[in-house]
Chains A and B, each alone.
Chain A
Amino acid sequence: RKEVEQDPGPFNVPEGATVAFNCTYSNSASQSFFWYRQDCRKEPKLLMSVYSSGNEDGRFTAQLNRASQYISLLIRDSKLSDSATYLCVVNILGGGADGLTFGKGTHLIIQP
C-alpha cells in the first residue's frame, strides 16, 4: 500500500463552486501534514499546514482526521486562479531520515 495517496483527478469544477479532496496516509506515526500547490511546470509552494484542530486561511480549510488517517482540503468560492495541482505532504516519524513523503497530487481545473 502506498504511504500517501491522492485521487489524481482531474476535478473539473465551475467557478464559484466549493470543492474538496482528500489525501490518505498509511503510517499512523505520521505527525505533520501539509498541502502544497503546484502550477503547471512550476515549483511547488506551501499552501497551508494542517493542524489537529484544523486550519483555515481565507477560502481554504484543511482538516486532519487521525482516526481514519486522512487530511482534506476544502476550497470555497473557487476562482479560476485556483486551477493547479495540490500535493499532500506527510512527515512520518521514522520514515527515512528526511521525514517527508509526497502524494502524487490532485489536479484541479476551475472552469468559467
Chain B
Amino acid sequence: EAQVTQNPRYLITVTGKKLTVTCSQNMNHEYMSWYRQDPGLGLRQIYYSMNVEVTDKGDVPEGYKVSRKEKRNFPLILESPSPNQTSLYFCASSPTGGSTNEKLFFGSGTQLSVL
C-alpha cells in the first residue's frame, strides 16, 4: 500500500532532550516536507526536500534539523526541544516539487508535547 509512515504517533518529552521523528514513504517520491500545525495558525512548513541531499528551510525552521540521505526517509530532528515546539507535526511527500507540485500525501501525524 502506498503510504507515508510517521513515527511515533504521540510523543511526550522534556525540555532539552534530543528527539527524532521519523518519516518514510514507499512511493519513490522526490519531494518531502515537514509541517507543524497549531490552533489558529494553520499548517506551517518547517523544512522541505526536493530530492536526496537537497533540503531547504520553510517558514519556521528555527529549532529543527532534517536530513535526506535516502529518497524514502526524511527524519525531523529536535536537538533541544522547548515547550513552544509542542505541536501536531505532519510529514508529506509528492512525486515532484516546484511548479509541478500537486497532490501531497500526508503521514498520519505526530502529536508532540514538550514539558
Contacts and interface: CB of A to CB of B under 8 A. Distances in A.
A102 B33 CA distance: 13
A104 interface: yes
A64 B45 CA distance: 25
B31 to A, nearest CB: 7
B15 to A, nearest CB: 24
A54 B41 CA distance: 29
A46 B103 contact: yes
Contacts of A23: none
B50 A97 contact: yes
Nearest to B108: A43
B97 interface: yes
Contacts of B100: 99
A100 B99 contact: no
A87 B43 contact: yes
B99 A43 contact: no
Contacts of B56: 97-98
Nearest to B49: A98
Interface in B35-79: 40-43, 45, 48, 50, 56
A100 B104 contact: yes
B81 interface: no
A46 B93 CA distance: 13
B111 interface: yes
Interface in B81-115: 88, 90, 97-104, 106-109, 111
Given A42-B109, A97-B50, A97-B56, A91 B104 contact: no
B43 A91 contact: no
A93 interface: yes
Interface of A: 8, 31-32, 34, 36, 41-46, 49, 87, 89, 91, 93-94, 97-100, 102-105
